[in-house]
Amino acid sequence: MNNPDPRIYVAGHRGLVGSAIVRALRARGYTNIVTRTHDELELTDQDAVRAFFRAERIDHVYLAAARVGGIHANNSYPAEFIYDNLMVQANVVHEAWRAGVGRLLFLGSSCIYPRLAQQPIREEYLMDGALEPTNEPYAVAKIAGIKLCESYNRQYGTDFRSVMPTNLYGPGDNYHPQNSHVIPALVRRFHEAKAEGAREVVIWGSGKPMREFLYVDDMAAASVHVMSLPLESYAAVTDPMHSHINVGSGNEVSIHELAHLVGEVVGFEGRIVFDATKPDGTPRKLLDVSKLRSLGWSANTPLREGLHRAYAAFLAVQLADATA
């Protein structure tokens, strides 16, 4: 019989996705959740990861720890993006197998797919063409993560699953002015422009790229849903090696439309201008989410509502920082 309250390790529990996964697990009544901060457990250190799994007797793992960032961070620190991600996932997957972990969820990213993939992007388009250069090292690491899980499943019969999220946003995001993703970057930039009474806000690139966005609590719900499925159900829609599955909202907007929407949510009334000297990245990446829908899950937070919640979370952080 399945253990109703498995011992669950959420790696990266202080990050955007990991913190939402912990919220989702607690809301569903799971109480046996194990966490370690980065300072307490360095996941690139194999000996430390081995000792952790040996001591903790974990049943399930959510692997939401990774080196993560937006287009500028990926383009500026390619060595860290490939090295850290390869090491973290190799250590966690290998030591989880050694320790007999029953089920693991690896979080990849929609940037694993070819830059000019047919849209919407189906899971089987993986490795069908060249990757987007601004994030190729990160994407190569994430592809290796999928293949790690597949290989352990094939050779050792493990149950290691992989989800490929589209661009995420929400409470707990990284608001670094350069290294963050577009939504937290714009929330902060519009907020500061409004506070300073600035006449214009500059957005990177042409404004033409299309992106699909998913609110992070929807992502967490999808992760818990995928981990709760019987293996036969998951394996029936993934390929025979129990490969990856896309997670998205099914809707896309241009960066131009997004900028106007964030400006509206924040209440900025000035001009929005585009700096075409900055990179656009992939022109379009809309995921085909029919496999996940066939398994009974779909997103339910519209972008405008998610942006209002994300801005409220940003304001709460500002307030806490100001009163600290």
Ligand X SMILES: NC(=O)C1=CN([C@@H]2O[C@H](COP(=O)(O)OP(=O)(O)OC[C@H]3O[C@@H](n4cnc5c(N)ncnc54)[C@H](OP(=O)(O)O)[C@@H]3O)[C@@H](O)[C@H]2O)C=CC1
Give contact residues for ligand F7E (rule: CB under 6 A): 70-72, 74, 109, 111, 134-135, 138, 167, 180-182, 185, 203-205, 209, 211, 255, 278-281
Burial (0-12, 13-18, 19+ Cβ within 10 Å), 287:
buried
CB of 67 to ligand X, least distance (A): 6
- According to the binding rule CB under 6 A, does residue 15 interact with ligand X? yes
- According to the binding rule CB under 6 A, does residue 38 interact with ligand X? yes
226 marked among binding-site residues: no
Burial (0-12, 13-18, 19+ Cβ within 10 Å), 44:
middle
- According to the binding rule CB under 6 A, does residue 161 interact with ligand X? no
8 Å CB contact between 94 and 101 = no
CB of 53 to ligand F7E, least distance (A): 27
Burial (0-12, 13-18, 19+ Cβ within 10 Å), 199:
exposed
215's enclosing H/E stretch is strand 210-215
Comparing CB distances to ligand X, the nearer of 193 and 219 is 219
107 marked among binding-site residues: yes
Residue owning tokens 């209440």? 267
280 marked among binding-site residues: yes
Where in 105-134 is the site for ligand X (CB under 6 A)? 107, 109
Where in 215-244 is the site for ligand X (CB under 6 A)? none
Say which amino acid occupies 117.
A
181 marked among binding-site residues: yes
- According to the binding rule CB under 6 A, does residue 43 interact with ligand X? yes
Of ligand X, ligand F7E, none, which one sits near residue 17, judging by CB under 5 to 8 A according to partner kind? ligand X
> Alpha-carbon distance 223 to 64, whole Å?
10
Handedness of CA 162, 165, 168, 174 (dihedral sign): positive
- According to the binding rule CB under 6 A, does residue 281 interact with ligand X? no
- According to the binding rule CB under 6 A, does residue 42 interact with ligand X? yes
> Alpha-carbon distance 101 to 91, whole Å?
13
8 Å CB contact between 119 and 212 = no
Q: What's the token pair of residue 175? A: 């608001």
- Per DSSP, the three-state class of 254 is strand
Catalytic choice (9, 30, 62, 138): 138
Q: DSSP E strands: which ranges in 73-177?
A: 103-107, 160-165, 167-169
Part of the chain binding ligand X (CB under 6 A), chosen from 9-17, 53-61, 74-82, 288-296: 9-17
Closest residue to ligand F7E using C-beta atoms: 70
Instruction: Give the per-residue contact string, 48-67, with ligand X (x = CB under 6 A; - = no).
Output: ----------------xxxx
- Per DSSP, the three-state class of 96 is helix
109 marked among binding-site residues: yes
CB of 46 to ligand X, least distance (A): 12
Q: Does the annotation mark 311 as catalytic?
A: no
Q: How many CB atoms lie within 10 A of CB 237?
A: 16
14 marked among binding-site residues: yes
What are the catalytic residues?
A: 138
Residues of the shown chain interacting with ligand X in the complex, contacts defined by CB under 6 A: 12, 14-18, 38, 41-44, 64-68, 84, 88, 107, 109, 165, 167-168, 174, 181
